[in-house]
Amino acid sequence: MSELLSLEDVTLSFRGLNALSEVSFALPEGQVAALIGPNGAGKTSLFNVVCGFYRPQRGTVRWRGQDITGTPPHRVARAGIGRSFQNIELFKTLTCLDNLLLGRHLHVRSNLFGAMFATRAWVRDEVAQRRRAEELMDLLDLQAYRDMPVGALPYGVQKLIEVARALAAEPKLLLLDEPAAGMTVEEKDDMMVTLLRLRSELDLTMLVVEHDLRVVSRLAERVLVLDHGTLIADGTPSEVQDDPAVVRAYLGTTRLAEGASGADGPVAEVGA
Ligand SMILES: Nc1ncnc2c1ncn2[C@@H]1O[C@H](COP(=O)(O)OP(=O)(O)O)[C@@H](O)[C@H]1O
Ligand SMILES: [Mg+2]
């Protein structure tokens, strides 16, 4: 497996406080990894650095071996990195379909001239965009919400559309920031099934921020743990949950999931 994304000694600080301290790791193509850590650990900041929203004070971000540190977000997206946001960032008054078409917008090469005169290339792009949006709605069971304004839809459905939007531009790497946060148990199970399906049906590399270790251990083969901006553990789900440094980082925030069977591995629900 070749390296898709790598971070080397990435340090990001806000007014002298390190949100990330010398973070280094590499994601091989095709890997699904989880990123966990207590609130304020730096998970969202790490995504923002990769996506070009923040420029780190030190260190290097590489995409397929090329230095992309500080590259603006639209170019990072075009290079093949898609991300969903911890807080849903959809256009609430637009329909599910329109949000997906906008999500694909950056993938479209033709211009206003093409649109005005409906050139052949423009029509081809338009057709490809709509086909991709329909495919994503099929894959994520969103067809029922196709023509509804997303603001009126249940929270769990909006989170799914947020994932679909991130996929609309056909990324190679998908960064999901707490895709199941705030969901009911049923919604969470639906999201997990969806992510497992994405994993098996799309040729994707994923880095997923998720607190529920039951979900993490079923979805990801690798877990990266951040604490106070430092990467304190990196291993399989079972290695990481037994790691003393990880247990210490979560002391005080760990609570056992009610009635968890433990059949799928860890039963702790961590973080907020
Ligand atoms: N734009 C910002 N300005 C100042 N501090 C920030 C900013 N973004 C994040 N931080 C700080 O960086 C640290 C890590 O935050 P964040 O990456 O959101 O953590 P997590 O996603 O793991 O909960 C926190 O202390 C947070 O307050
Ligand atoms: Mg966060």
| Residue of the CA atom closest to atom 1 of ligand 1 | 14
Fold of 3-80+171-269: Rossmann fold (3.40.50)
- Nearest-atom index, ligand 1, CA of 12: 12
Provide the residue ranges of all domains of the chain, joining segments of one domain with +.
3-80+171-269, 95-165
The pLDDT value given to residue 111: 60
**Which of 11, 43, 45 should be mutated for ligand 1, with most atoms under 8 A from CB?**
45
Report the C-alpha gap between 60 and 11 in whole angstroms. Answer: 9
Quick one: which ligand is closest to 16's CA? 1
The ligand 1 site (C-beta within 6 Å) comprises 14, 19, 37, 39-45
Tens place of pLDDT per residue across the chain (272 aa): 689 999 999 999 999 899 999 999 999 999 999 999 999 999 999 999 999 999 999 999 999 999 999 999 989 999 999 999 988 889 999 999 999 998 776 554 556 666 666 777 777 777 888 999 999 999 999 999 999 999 999 999 999 999 999 999 889 999 999 999 888 888 888 898 899 888 888 889 999 999 888 888 889 999 999 999 999 999 999 999 889 999 888 865 544 333 333 333 333 444 43
Tell me the whole-structure pTM to 2 decimals.
0.87
| Residue of the CA atom closest to atom 9 of ligand 1 | 45
